[in-house]
Amino acid sequence: MDNLALACIHCSLRKGARQNARDPQSGRTVRLFHPREHSWNHHFRWMTCRLNGITAIGRTTIEALNLNSSEHQVIRAFEKKLRRHPPPGHL
C-alpha cells in the first residue's frame, strides 16, 4: 500500500512501470514525478485548467503522461465549476 497512488486509468496506463522519461526541453532522461518523494508545488503550477511544469521533473511528467490532453482539460474545467479544481494545496 505504501507504493500505491490513486490515478485515472489514462495516466496509469501512460506511466506503466516507467520511472524516467525524456525531458522535452533538454532531451535528457529525467525522473518522473514521484508523489511520495517530490513536492507537487515545487514542480508544477496550474494555469487555470492547464498544468505548467516549472522543473525538468514537472515538464517531463506532463509530457510523458500527456497531462494537458484535451480530455484532462475538459475534466478540469468541469471540476472548476464545482469548485474542485485546482485541488486543495496545489498552487
Q: Enumerate binding residues for Zn ion (CB under 5 A).
A: 8, 10-11
79: which 3 cell numbers? 471540476
As a three-state string, the secondary structure of 5-52 is: CCCCHHHHHHHCCCCEEECCCCCCEEECCCCCCCCHHHHEEEECCEEE
CB of 27 to Zn ion, least distance (A): 25
Nearer to Zn ion, 8 or 91 (CB): 8
CB of 8 to Zn ion, least distance (A): 4
Nearer to Zn ion, 10 or 31 (CB): 10
CB of 56 to Zn ion, least distance (A): 21
Nearer to Zn ion, 7 or 91 (CB): 7
Is 14 in contact with 72 (CB distance < 8 Å)?
no
